[in-house]
């Protein structure tokens, strides 16, 4: 049962990654594309790591650290991209 749940999480993570990448082909704004990509990649990577956590429970400290790092790093990166993309704003 754990194997099925683990593989399901890994497959869901892969689907999220491809789904986020598919938004790059849309005709929306660049910021919308980047936001969709970063959210989908974060959820996809976290789902894959959670699937690995179910598969290899002996490595739980490293995998939990990976999940926390993904959540923090991708959130900060999103804020940095939004800050740097200010239209016409001069940040000094």
Length of the chain in residues, anyone? 92
CB–CB of 70/40 below 8 Å? no
Mean pLDDT estimate for the chain: 86
Alpha helix positions (H), the chain = 2-22, 30-55, 60-84
Q: How many CB atoms lie within 10 A of CB 14?
A: 14
Whether residue 90 is predicted with pLDDT greater than 70 in this model: the reply is no
The residue-averaged pLDDT of 52-58 equals 92
Average pLDDT of 4-14?
A: 95
Q: Per residue in 17-40, is it b (16+ CB within 10 Å) or e — as a string? A: beebeebeeeeeeeeebbbbbbbb
Specify the residue for token string 């790591």. Answer: 49
Q: How confident is the model at residue 78 (pLDDT cuts 50, 70, 90)?
A: confident
């Amino acid at each position: 049962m754990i194997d099925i749940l683990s593989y399901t999480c890994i497959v869901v993570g892969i689907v999220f990654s491809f789904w986020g990448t598919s938004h790059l082909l849309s005709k929306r704004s660049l910021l919308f594309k980047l936001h969709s990509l970063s959210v989908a990649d974060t959820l996809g990577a976290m789902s894959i790591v959670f699937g690995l956590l179910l598969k290899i429970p002996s490595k739980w400290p490293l995998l939990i650290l990976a999940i926390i790092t993904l959540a923090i790093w991708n959130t900060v990166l999103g804020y940095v991209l939004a800050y740097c993309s200010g239209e016409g704003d001069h940040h000094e």
